[in-house]
Amino acid sequence: MQSETQVNEYLEELEFLADTAGASTVKRYTQKLPQPDSRTFIGKGKLEEIAEYVELKEIDLVIFDDDLTGKQVNLLETALKVKIVDRSTLILDIFASRAQTAQAKTQVELAQMQYLLPRLRGLWTHLERQRGGIGMRGPGEKEIETDRRIVRDKIALLKKDLEKIERQNQTQRKNRGAMVRVALVGYTNVGKSTLMNLLSKSEVFAENKLFATLDTTVRKVVWEAMPFLLSDTVGFIRKLPHHLVESFKSTLDEVRRK
């Protein structure tokens, strides 16, 4: 159960995320339910209320603050006739557009695949068929299994790639020797990269959007004759999809080692 204050904080954050992804928010809805509806997440009355508004104002995107199942996405898209996105999808989308290095790109793709895997049953699109460009009939059990295998293989491959990148990074870290290490850690958009730039006179990308930084940057800084390694990292957010946390672990490892 989320308190009202918490819900508002989450929605503030969600609005900023939407803004970062290029969408402007025009209306918020909340609903108190003993538990989410397994089919449509929200109740029937609320769904009708939103559908009316969406049609009236010609809204083209509805974002949910909690994770939806594949089935819920489908039913909501049918009912509201617009694209439905949940918090995880939105964050993954932002991360995908921000990823610069091979490591960040692989981490994001891994998180996307892990998010997709349990949702294949509910989704109507079929990977193999998509590839072949044939129709949009609902997939049979056998086809879902094929899709699962494709996604699982991809996950295994991405994990291997990440391990390889991580080994290379470890070698790099060893070469840096036993210098004092300092890491800038905190909520996204608080000014970590700006501070990094000031201290190290470097030009790490900083802007008033969430997740401007995805890749850890390490710079050597000398402050009052004391040399140390300063690293700037991916920022935190209140409700981060756990697959993302999982796949960004090695990035954050950099911080733990400090």
Ligand X SMILES: Nc1nc2c(ncn2[C@@H]2O[C@H](COP(=O)(O)OP(=O)(O)OP(=O)(O)O)[C@@H](O)[C@H]2O)c(=O)[nH]1
Whole-angstrom distance, CA of residue 258 vs CA of residue 251? 12
Q: How far is the CB of 185 from ligand X (least distance, A)?
A: 10
Is residue 193 near Mg ion by the rule CB under 5 A? yes
Is residue 97 near ligand X by the rule CB under 6 A? no
Of ligand X, Mg ion, none, which one does residue 180 interact with (CB within 5 to 8 Å by kind)?
Answer: none
Structure tokens at 22: 């290029």
Is residue 30 near ligand X by the rule CB under 6 A? no
> Quick one: which segment of 10-18, 78-86, 118-126, 187-195 binds ligand X (CB under 6 A)?
187-195
Sheet arrangement for strand 217-223: 181-184, 226-232, 217-223
Residue partners of 163: CB distance under 8 A and separation at least 6? none
Q: Which is nearer to ligand X, 216 or 247 (CB)?
A: 216
Q: Which is nearer to ligand X, 76 or 204 (CB)?
A: 204
Whole-angstrom distance, CA of residue 113 vs CA of residue 69? 14
Q: How far is the CB of 104 from Mg ion (least distance, A)?
A: 13
Q: Which of residues 193-232 bind ligand X (CB under 6 A)?
A: 193-194, 206-208, 210-213
Q: Tell me the residue nearest to ligand X as measured from the CB.
A: 235
Q: Which is nearer to Mg ion, 21 or 79 (CB)?
A: 21
Is residue 189 near ligand X by the rule CB under 6 A? yes
Q: Which of 69, 76, 235, 241 binds ligand X (CB under 6 A)?
A: 235
Structure tokens at 3: 């308190």
Whole-angstrom distance, CA of residue 152 vs CA of residue 173? 31
Residue partners of 90: CB distance under 8 A and separation at least 6? 14, 17, 18, 21, 63
> Quick one: which segment of 46-54, 169-177, 182-190, 220-228 binds ligand X (CB under 6 A)?
182-190
- The phi and psi torsions of 9 (rounded to 5 degrees) equal -65, -45
Whole-angstrom distance, CA of residue 140 vs CA of residue 39? 20
Structure tokens at 37: 């509806």
Footprint of ligand X (CB under 6 A): 188-194, 206-208, 210-213, 235
Footprint of Mg ion (CB under 5 A): 192-193, 212-213
